[in-house]
């Protein structure tokens, strides 16, 4: 019998495994235009924390007592829809479960790139598209500029680092711990800041970027954002993609260097990947070239088994992942 | 003998009159291409606080023990420069003093508008240009949108209110006290928030803007900025012009609603009036029409006498001014 993780209670602050319950779900037969899909890979993403709150946002909140959702890659095991055959690998949003019956119109076949299917949940999916358009369209980062990327060892950040390097920028990243920093350096970052070290972040960034930063790609918020304000050059652009720092904390963001926004004409722009999905082709064109040239590398942190999905999710907030966090079924 | 206010010590936090000293200055005879000017009006502006710190910014810091500077309107009393005659009224940056010898190339004749000369230090000068381009170019405010303006009774804010109304926007302002709120309402504001009242600012803004705000013109920072984040609609633009809230305070800005920046794709842009001075003609064209139609009104808070200049300056931070704060000599 199919099973799905249900939201049992809304977390206050940091979620715990008690907020989730794995329960059987009753799958109907696929109706006309529907597919039955056996999931192979489940996506684990920071934004899911927002959906656990009962707050109107850019994605609707998860319903209490109902199965949760999220990105997933699966195999068609029963097709009642034209154009889909048993064995097709597809991407869809009925994650957090092992099997689903889904409308074919809510399902995408995987793009024809020669990579493992789970890559389409990470670097070659939403996180990659987020990084590409955040850097190039939102922040308008240009060759020769200095780019600071927080959470640079994450799925989004590690893609930003490599695209920025391929486009001729100087890249400074931040990550937690020596191992992650070494890995991002191996991807091409010119300097790395270990935010778990004793050096205050602002001091570390000033040392890593003695001529200041022109672009900040923010996955973190909080003290990273403040350090970016402290070091931003004239006309700097900040692309604000996530604030994982704040997802579990009610405390306000404290910004000491915010007034530099004025004198330095800084532009801060929030964005959501869905605004750029219609232009995803531009990303795949550049990604294909970079992949072929060996300039777009990725890592995955894989947790095995549906029953470990909540642990994988909680691991995002303690920095357990290098690259994309995935659950393999 | 001419006298000028000197910066005696750099204020920590809120300045006091002890930071300033009025001392005689020795004026040389005007050399070739120079003018001697008797000041009639001195500009008093919040941004001057920044120049009292020893920090590199968009204007250089005042030097310790030297005369301070600022906008001024004066009369030419001795000319050694082509194109300037005794009796000409001019604008220049040798304020905080009663008389100055200045290069003619650093002086502007007043634009040919039929208003009192001191207007060119306020609504028809830097503050007006700031308001106009902040609203129209930085925030790209459009007809039908909802605009929130903080410090709406100030020189910048009261101009923003009237230009926004003339362009068909809904305008919500904030000001301290009933009298100021009534005045801004009389300028056309659709709703006013008295930030000195007991109602929390966010609650007051949510009530005043039940459909949210599309544009925020920020003169204040702090809790006003946070309230704007709390109420901002999809695609809202913030023009950040000043943060008077923070000029005297080392404490960080606390933003509780900053994460709304992401989901609502908010754009926050800092700016400086000098970026738009080359386009001042656009402002004067619109201002002349509005003046003629009686749709651009102004008030001035006038303090008499050079010796009261520091008090006038300090008065900015306790909200003593309605419209432009000026010192008359």
pLDDT at A7 over 80: yes
Q: pLDDT grade, residue A244 (50/70/90)?
A: confident
What average pLDDT score do residues A314-325 get? 91
Nearest CA in chain A to B221: A259
Q: Residue A267 and residue B267: Cβ atoms within 8 Å? A: yes
ipTM: 0.89
Query: In this structure, which long-range contacts are made by residues A17-25, counting pairs with CB atoms below 8 Å and at least 24 apart in sequence?
Result: A17/A310, A17/A311, A17/A314, A19/A52, A19/A310, A20/A68, A20/A309, A20/A310, A22/A306, A22/A307, A25/A1, A25/A67, A25/A97
List CB contacts (< 8 A) between B61 and chain A: none
List CB contacts (< 8 A) between B48 and chain A: none
Quote the CA–CA distance of A70 and A309 in Å, as a whole number.
Answer: 11
Q: Are A251 and B272 in contact (CB under 8 A)?
A: no
DSSP A28-64: PPP-TTEEEEEEEEEE--TTHHHHTSS---SSPPPPT
Contacts of A224 (CB under 8 A, 6+ apart): A150, A174, A195, A201, A218, A245
CA distances from B269 to A308, B139, B252 (A): 43, 8, 19
B208-246 pLDDT, tens digit each: 999 999 999 999 999 999 999 999 999 999 999 988 766
What average pLDDT score do residues A166-192 get? 97
pLDDT value at residue A76? 97
SS (H, E, C) A88-125: CEEEECECCECEEEEEHHHCEECCCCCCCHHHHHCCCC
Q: Residue A255 and residue B256: Cβ atoms within 8 Å? A: no
The values of phi and psi at residue B304, to 5°, are: -95, 135
Chain A nearest-CA distance from B137, in A, is 13
The residue ranges of chain B whose pLDDT is under 50 are none
Chain A nearest-CA distance from B309, in A, is 25
Is B268's Cβ below 8 Å from some Cβ in A?
yes
Contacts of B51 (CB under 8 A, 6+ apart): B57, B59, B60, B61, B62, B68, B69
Is B269's Cβ below 8 Å from some Cβ in A?
yes
pLDDT value at residue A155? 92
Q: Residue A269 and residue B264: Cβ atoms within 8 Å? A: no
List CB contacts (< 8 A) between A262 and chain B: 58, 240-243, 270-272
Is A246's Cβ below 8 Å from some Cβ in B?
yes
CA A221, A314, A106: angle at the middle one, nearest 5?
90
Quote the CA–CA distance of B22 and B5 in Å, as a whole number.
Answer: 4
User: Mutate which of B133, B231, B262, B266 to disrupt the A interface (most A C-beta within 10 Å)?
Assistant: B262
Is A269's Cβ below 8 Å from some Cβ in B?
yes
Is A140's Cβ below 8 Å from some Cβ in B?
no
Q: pLDDT grade, residue A118 (50/70/90)?
A: very high
Q: Residue B262 and residue A252: Cβ atoms within 8 Å? A: no
Is B253's Cβ below 8 Å from some Cβ in A?
yes
Decide the pairing of beta strands B232-240 and B267-270: parallel
Q: Where are the beta strands (DSSP E) in A104-243?
A: 108-109, 146-149, 170-175, 191-194, 213-218, 232-240
Compare A226 and B248 and report the one with higher pLDDT. A226
Decide the pairing of beta strands B89-92 and B72-79: antiparallel
Rg over alpha carbons for chain B, rounded to the nearest Å, is: 20
List CB contacts (< 8 A) between B268 and chain A: 261, 267-269
Chain A nearest-CA distance from B86, in A, is 37
Which domains, and CATH codes, for chain B?
Answer: 3-122+299-328 (3.90.180.10), 126-274 (3.40.50.720)
pLDDT at A248 over 90: no
Is B265's Cβ below 8 Å from some Cβ in A?
yes
- Which of B:278-307 have CB within 8 Å of A? none
Quote the CA–CA distance of A250 and A60 in Å, as a whole number.
Answer: 20
pLDDT value at residue A243? 81
List CB contacts (< 8 A) between A133 and chain B: none
pLDDT value at residue B60? 85
pLDDT at A302 over 90: yes
Reported pTM: 0.91
Is A264's Cβ below 8 Å from some Cβ in B?
yes
Report how many Cβ contacts below 8 Å link chain A to chain B.
95
């Amino acid at each position: 019998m199919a099973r799905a993780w249900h939201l049992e209670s809304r977390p206050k602050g940091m979620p715990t495994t008690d907020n989730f319950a794995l329960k059987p779900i009753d799958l109907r037969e696929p109706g006309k235009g529907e597919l039955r899909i056996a999931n192979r890979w489940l996506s684990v993403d920071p934004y899911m924390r927002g959906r656990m709150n009962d707050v109107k946002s850019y994605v609707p909140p998860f319903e209490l007592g109902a199965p949760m959702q999220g990105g997933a890659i699966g195999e068609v095991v029963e097709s009642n829809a034209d154009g889909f055959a048993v064995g097709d690998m597809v991407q869809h949003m009925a994650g957090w479960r092992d099997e689903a019956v889904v409308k074919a119109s809510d399902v995408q076949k995987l793009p024809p790139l020669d990579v493992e299917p789970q890559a389409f949940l990470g670097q070659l999916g939403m996180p990659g598209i987020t990084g590409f358009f955040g850097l190039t369209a939102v922040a308008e980062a240009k060759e020769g500029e200095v780019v600071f990327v927080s959470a640079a060892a994450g799925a989004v950040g590690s893609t930003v680092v490599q695209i920025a390097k391929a486009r001729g920028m100087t890249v400074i990243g931040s990550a937690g711990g020596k191992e992650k920093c070494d890995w991002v350096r191996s991807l091409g970052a010119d300097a790395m800041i270990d935010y778990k070290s004793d050096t205050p972040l602002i001091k570390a960034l000033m040392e890593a970027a003695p001529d200041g930063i022109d672009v900040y790609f923010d996955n973190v918020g909080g003290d990273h954002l403040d350090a970016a304000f402290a070091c931003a050059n004239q006309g700097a652009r900040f692309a604000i993609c996530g604030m994982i720092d704040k997802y579990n904390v009610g405390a306000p963001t404290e910004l000491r260097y915010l007034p530099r926004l004025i004198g330095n004409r800084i532009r801060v722009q929030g964005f959501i990947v869905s605004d750029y999905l219609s232009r995803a082709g531009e990303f795949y064109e550049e990604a294909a070239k970079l992949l072929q040239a060996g300039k777009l590398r990725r890592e995955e942190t894989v947790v095995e088994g549906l029953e470990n999905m909540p642990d994988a999710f909680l691991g995002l907030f303690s920095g357990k992942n290098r690259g994309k966090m995935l659950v393999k079924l």
